[in-house]
Amino acid sequence: MDWASLAEWTLKSFALIFALLGGFAYLTLFERKLIARFQVRIGPNRAGPFGLLQPVADGIKLIFKEELIPAQADKIIFILAPIITVVPALVIMAVVPFGPPIQLFGRTISLQIIDLNVGVLYIMAIASVSVYGIVLAGWSSNNKYATLGGIRSSAQMISYELALGLAFTGPVLLTSSLSLAEIVEAQRHIWFVLYQPVGAFIFWISTLAEVNRAPFDMPEAEQELTAGYHTEYSGMKFALFFMAEYIKMIAVSAIAVTLFFGGYRGPFVDQVPLLGPIYFLLKVVGFLFLMVWVRATLPRIRYDRLMAFGWKVLFSLALGNAMLTALGVLLADMFQNSLWLWSIPVTTIAFFLLVAYLMRGSIAGGNR
């Protein structure tokens, strides 16, 4: 370990953290503006031009708000819970490459905190840790709504984690590597979403549930749980839960882009490396737009249907997708012909339609 690399790591960590914090601030504005447009309103437009200073105003307001700690709450856990929620959200992006390595001050700097050879496993592990903060927040508040929100949230997140984990196997099967840098490099010619349309779909739906976004925002369903696990929180501690949710939105969009949509790859990236982060950002913003769009369009799904969908439909679908992908890779290797890889989208989409046909009415239609 030398001081130059320590300085590089510190600077890169700071850059990542502040990029995520800035991204969080403007994602809230982005979402409010878009939702307003979807509902034929104007949205925030008072603070600064086009409401661009709105996030700053919100932040300052939240700092000066009263911090309530209920008398019966478990004080230490109550204060720790927002920190435990936000830290996994901040560190999950460490393995995602933002661009090809660049030359700066005679050093080769990779635009990635760390290229772990177990990157996919790291993402799964950190995503699981983020359940703890929410459960602890709900439990330590000593409030019925908060406890129920926390428990619901944990059950939902662990249920959708199964499908999420199986959706990871598709890109891993195709690259034979867990390193995200290698997964991006393997998509130099073709994005994995073309081989893995069903896999990308499963991944996207289960990440929506994983970050508690609409239509899977049962843990914070306002109409029945007031605010779910953060009912008793106010001021900056409430803001940290909000921050964790929005940073996780950015993180899962970035991971989806890396696994299925070529990461930072795009035309002319090899000649001009600085184009990489720009392509990456554009793709991530596209995904964030989709998430807001889904929230503006779909109503919240009922809790029993949510669990049934996760376990019965999504898990079976993810399992079938993983095995069919393995079959396609096997055929391509046996016949030494990569055209066989195109059997994967054909068989997985057929399987998807079959499952959709078998499950029709059992989840969405009827009373149960």
Partner 1 sequence: MSEYLPLVVLFILSTLVAAIAVALGHLFGPRRPTERKLQPYESGMTPFGPGTRRMPVRFYLVAVLFILFDIEVVFFIPWAVVYRKLGLFGFVEMLLFAGILEIAFVYAWKKGALEWE
Site for partner 1 in 324-363 (CB under 8 A): 326-327, 329-330, 333-334
Cβ at position 178, least distance to partner 1 in Å: 6
Confirm or reject binding of residue 317 to partner 1 (CB under 8 A). no
169 binds partner 1 (CB under 8 A): yes
* Per CB under 8 A, 235 contacts partner 1: yes
Name the one range near partner 1 by CB under 8 A: 40-48, 66-74, 96-104, 291-299.
Answer: 66-74
Point out which span in 144-152, 186-194, 257-265, 268-276 binds partner 1 (CB under 8 A): 144-152
Among 24, 30, 98, 145, binds partner 1 (CB under 8 A): 145
Is residue 10 a contact partner of residue 18, using CB atoms and an 8 Å limit? no
Query: Binding segment for partner 1 among 149-157, 189-197, 210-218, 287-295 (CB under 8 A)?
Result: 149-157
CA distance 96 to 250: 12
Q: Which of 41, 45, 72, 360 binds partner 1 (CB under 8 A)?
A: 72
Question: Which of 68, 282, 298, 354 is the binder for partner 1 (CB under 8 A)?
Answer: 68
At 55, which helix (H) or strand (E)?
Answer: helix 54-63
Q: Which residues, numbered 274-303, are part of the site for partner 1 (CB under 8 A)? A: 303
Among 87, 285, 294, 296, binds partner 1 (CB under 8 A): 87
Which listed range, 193-201, 208-216, 279-287, 316-324, lies at the site for partner 1 (CB under 8 A)?
316-324
Burial class (CB in 10 A: 0-12, 13-18, 19+), 54: buried
How far apart, in whole angstroms, are the C-alpha atoms of residue 98 and residue 234?
34
Whole-number CA gyration radius for the chain: 21
Which residue, 16 or 214, is less far from partner 1 as judged by CB?
A: 16
- Tell me: does residue 272 bind partner 1 (CB under 8 A): no
Other Cβ atoms within 10 Å of 116 Cβ, number: 17
Q: CA-CA distance, 97 to 114, in Å (whole number)?
A: 9
Q: State how far the Cα of 225 lies from the Cα of 220, in Å rounded to an integer.
A: 7
Could you say whether residue 158 binds partner 1 (CB under 8 A)?
yes
242 binds partner 1 (CB under 8 A): no
- The whole-angstrom separation of Cα 24 and Cα 62 is 15
Are 256 and 204 a contacting pair, CB within 8 Å? yes
Choosing from 36, 162, 190, 278, the residue that interacts with partner 1 (CB under 8 A) is 162
- Which residue in 149, 126, 153 sits closest to 252, CA to CA? 126
Stretch that binds partner 1, among 158-166, 197-205, 265-273, 279-287 (CB under 8 A): 158-166
Residue 21 interacting with partner 1 (CB under 8 A): yes
User: Do residues 267 and 7 touch, judged by C-beta distance below 8 A?
Assistant: no
Residue 327 tokens read as 């079959």
Q: Site for partner 1 (CB under 8 A): how many residues?
A: 84
Query: How far is residue 45's CA from residue 33's CA, in Å, rounded to a whole number?
Result: 9
